[in-house]
């Protein structure tokens, strides 16, 4: 067996998209590949990216926007694999709201005005002729758990909510009026990122890490292995509600949330870059080069 090697892995909330990582941890897959993972929960996705950039963490699982921005400026950050290529979210609305068109003049909860949920929401609502600003307003309501509280309190009319919180809301009488995945079918929701100098100097460790993830993703995507995956998914989402957790797990797995080959399809990367340009996080001249942030040599080595 390979000698044991420590690897520090950063993330923001380390939530539902980390399911394969926790499968690898709790079922000895990392250990089998000679790895001891040190988990660093940074609180926000931006801080996870910064932790890698500043050498506080070896790798991070986080949305790729920070790495893309750094790369196009000539920086060291690289994406080495996907974590997830889908947006497992529904638009959750108050019971009086039956469709996207009913959101005219309404208040939509989001965690940011420039990234993520705000961009997804604008794309979905624009398909129904609603424009921002003007036709509706955003309310900075925080992450999904805070948005749920705001929905229940009537402080917002609608919000994008990930599974299984979307199904919890539906059970409580709220309406699911649209699926983000229908509007944005492929995107790099989260990726594994690293610093080029560290990656090049620790190629063997990185390849072992990816080999372990290949095994864990295979288990995660196997309906026959829910004895392994469902208890972990339930713990990191609904805590004590097995039925809700099961529905959320099936929803994500069936939409292809966790790519078994850990790769990033060109369409997913193009969508990510396009949304960054829409949000003024990236200039149009960067479009042709931005996809170069993905260094697939590590995945190629791990799959051999």
What is the pTM (predicted TM-score) of this model?
0.88
Residue 82's nearest CA partner among 26, 133, 144, 21 is 21
On whether the 5-86+187-302 domain is CATH 3.40.50.800, my answer is: no
Question: Tens-of-pLDDT digits for all 304 residues of the chain?
Answer: 446 899 999 998 888 999 999 999 999 999 999 999 999 988 778 889 999 999 999 999 998 999 999 999 999 999 999 999 999 999 999 999 999 999 999 999 988 776 677 888 888 999 899 999 999 999 988 888 889 999 999 999 999 999 999 999 999 999 999 999 999 999 999 999 999 999 999 999 999 999 999 999 999 999 999 999 999 999 998 888 999 999 999 999 999 999 999 999 999 999 999 988 987 889 999 999 999 999 999 999 999 8
Q: Where are the domains of the chain?
A: 5-86+187-302, 89-183
Contact indicator for 97, 50 with CB cutoff of 8 Å = no
Judge if the upstream peptide bond of residue 3 is cis by omega within 30 degrees of 0: no
Are 5-86+187-302 and 89-183 in the same CATH fold? yes
H helix intervals, 81-220:
117-126, 144-152, 165-171, 180-183, 196-201, 203-220
CATH number for the domain formed by residue range(s) 89-183: 3.40.190.10
């Amino acid at each position: 067996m390979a000698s044991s090697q420590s690897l520090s892995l950063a993330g923001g909330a380390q939530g539902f998209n980390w399911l394969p990582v926790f499968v690898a941890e709790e079922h000895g897959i990392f250990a089998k590949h000679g790895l001891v993972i040190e988990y660093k929960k940074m609180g926000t996705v931006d801080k996870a990216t910064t932790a890698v950039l500043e050498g506080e963490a070896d790798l991070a699982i986080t949305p790729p926007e920070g790495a893309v921005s750094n790369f196009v400026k000539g920086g060291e950050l690289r994406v080495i694999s996907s974590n997830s290529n889908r947006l497992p979210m529904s638009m959750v609305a108050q019971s009086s709201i039956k469709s996207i068109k009913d959101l005219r003049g309404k208040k939509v909860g989001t965690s940011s005005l420039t990234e993520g949920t705000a961009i997804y929401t604008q794309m979905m609502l624009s398909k129904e002729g609603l424009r921002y600003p003007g036709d509706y307003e955003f309310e900075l309501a925080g992450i999904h758990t805070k948005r749920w509280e705001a929905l229940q309190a009537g402080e917002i009319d609608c919000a994008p909510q990930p599974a299984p919180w979307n199904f919890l809301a539906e059970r409580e009488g709220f309406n699911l009026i649209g699926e983000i995945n229908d509007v944005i079918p492929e995107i790099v929701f989260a990726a594994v990122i690293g610093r080029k100098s560290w990656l090049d100097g620790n190629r063997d460790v990185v390849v072992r890490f990816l080999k372990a993830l290949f095994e864990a993703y295979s288990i995660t995507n196997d309906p026959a292995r829910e004895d392994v995956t469902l208890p972990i998914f339930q713990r990191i989402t609904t805590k004590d509600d097995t039925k809700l957790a099961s529905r959320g797990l099936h929803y994500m797995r069936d939409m292809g949330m966790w790519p078994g080959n850990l790769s990033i399809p060109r369409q997913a990367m193009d969508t990510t870059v396009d949304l960054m340009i829409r949000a003024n996080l990236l200039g149009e001249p960067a479009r042709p080069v931005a996809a170069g942030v993905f260094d697939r040599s590590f995945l190629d080595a791990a799959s051999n």
